[in-house]
Chains A and B, each alone.
Chain A
Amino acid sequence: MTIMLTLSAFSIGIVGAVPLAVGLSSSNILVRLASRLFVDLVRGVPIIVWLFLLKFGIQIGTFKFNPVGAAIVGLGVVSIAYLAEIYRGGLQSVPRGQGEAAHALGLTGGTTFYGVMVPQAFRIVSPSIATYLTGLLKDSSIASTIIVTEMVFQSQAFARQHPTVEGILPYIMVGILYIALSLPVAYLSRRLDSRMRKAVSV
């Protein structure tokens, strides 16, 4: 459940953040302000509050979020906001000459963005994205508070059902499990990063 939750929210974030990042660096002031407002609003409220709002605060007709749905949407939207900010930073750190060269060659806006800017920005931000992913993996534990049966929830339940076992043990186990899950992410990200750096030493 932890892995499912993390990956779903991360997928929502990684895709949804693209238009938002474009909005953040838009030359249209209204679009920029709206995007900025969204990002600051979402980032300014703790995840736990978002999850409670989504789970208990939203009712459209007969529709109510179930715990898992609320957790995925909540973590997903928060991911969109954080990743958009990471993308924006990456896009802005691509030298201005790159865009100019693309325009001078007559490349269209779309080709310039996806063929020239994004690949370079991705190289710059890939370590930040990996850091965010590890953070998200751990933040998914907050979903236990709205009764999603992810790892922390289960260790709590286990602790409650087996009062004879040393109370701390399940939590040590779950801690180790989290480390076991985040290590591969860190490792893969470092490998990816060094490979890309080797290919493009500017």
Chain B
Amino acid sequence: MTLSEIADGKLAPRLGIKLDNISKRYGEHTVLDDVSLHVEPGTVTALIGPSGAGKSTFLRCINLLERPDSGTIQVDQHTIEPGKDVNSRDLAALRRTVGMVFQSFNLFPHMSALKNISFPQQKVLGRSKEEADERSRQLLERVGLKEKADQHPGKCSGGQQQRIAIARALALDPAIMLFDEPTSALDPEVGLEVLAVMRELAADGMTMIVVTHEMQFARDVSDTLVVMADCKIIEQGDPRAIMSDPQEARTRRFLRAVLER
């Protein structure tokens, strides 16, 4: 093994994640009703379903941006029970293992693209500025945006911003990546460049959980397709099998709406 391979994060351990019996309520209103999902290391899981099904909330529960009322989250050796007190060490470890990409990019507008990627590395991993910048440039090159390093996000297109956001998350060497409708805020054509980066990432063996409305991507790239509706997982399995022969009536209705438009 060479140093550059280590720096590339190629040795980052492949981790899966187990979520069991996750429930979330806002007052009287139930958003997630006893949802369990096991994700194997190195696989891509696509979460689809009608809006309001709880897909995004579920995803946000994984890194505790939303605090589930009950359930357990198991990553690596860590078991977290969000219903009880979570100590800050466990929370930090969880967020270090899990990277996230948002629908609205959420790049820091007051920093250049390079700084957006370097700043968290310096703060979270304690890398020096030089180390961080070097890693940032590698990643920018990998997502095809080497020339944008010194630009502020405001000067970049949506697709470019999202690719910078992916690079920012990858810079912390996460073992698992969460994508919350990463192309929903983008023009269909621009979305393609983001999907291309995600396909590459999947091919590299990154464990990914993707909330998406991109059915093509879900069918071609994901190993497991998970259909959520009414705060529950109603069906999961091989994406092609589910898409060609859904078992549940609700899945059938949803697929007809998205595929036959």
Partner of A105, one of B109, B153, B155, B169: B169
In the complex formed, the residue of A with least CB distance to B104 is A97
Which residues from B are CB-within-8-Å of A202?
Answer: 109, 153-154
CB <8 Å contact, A104 and B100: yes
- A66–B33 Cα gap in the complex (Å)? 67
B124 interface residue (CB < 8 Å to A)? yes
Binary interface encoding of chain B residues 105-136 relative to chain A, with 1 for a CB under 8 A from any of its CBs, else 0: 01111100000000110011000000000000
Q: How far is the CB of B143 from chain A (nearest CB, A)?
A: 17
Partner of B110, one of A95, A97, A119: A119
A160 interface residue (CB < 8 Å to B)? no
Known A98-B108, A105-B120, A200-B109; 5 more pairs at CB < 8 Å: A101-B165, A103-B95, A104-B99, A107-B124, A202-B153
B102 interface residue (CB < 8 Å to A)? yes
Which residues from B are CB-within-8-Å of A200?
Answer: 109-110, 152, 154
Q: A105-B95, A105-B169, A107-B124 are in contact. Are A120 and B109 (CB under 8 A)?
A: yes
- Listed in ascending order, the chain B residues whose CB lies under 8 Å from chain A are 63, 65, 92, 95-96, 98-100, 102, 104, 106-110, 119-120, 123-124, 152-155, 165, 168-169, 172
CB <8 Å contact, B152 and A199: yes
Task: Count residues on chain A whose CB falls below 8 Å from chain B CBs.
Answer: 21
Partner of A100, one of B65, B96, B107: B65
A106 interface residue (CB < 8 Å to B)? yes
Q: Which of A8-16, A57-65, A108-116 contacts B (4 or more CB under 8 A)?
A: A108-116
- A106–B97 Cα gap in the complex (Å)? 9
Closest 8 CB pairs of A and B: A101-B106, A106-B95, A97-B106, A104-B100, A105-B120, A201-B154, A106-B124, A202-B154
Which residues from B are CB-within-8-Å of A100?
Answer: 65, 102, 106
- A98–B106 Cα gap in the complex (Å)? 6
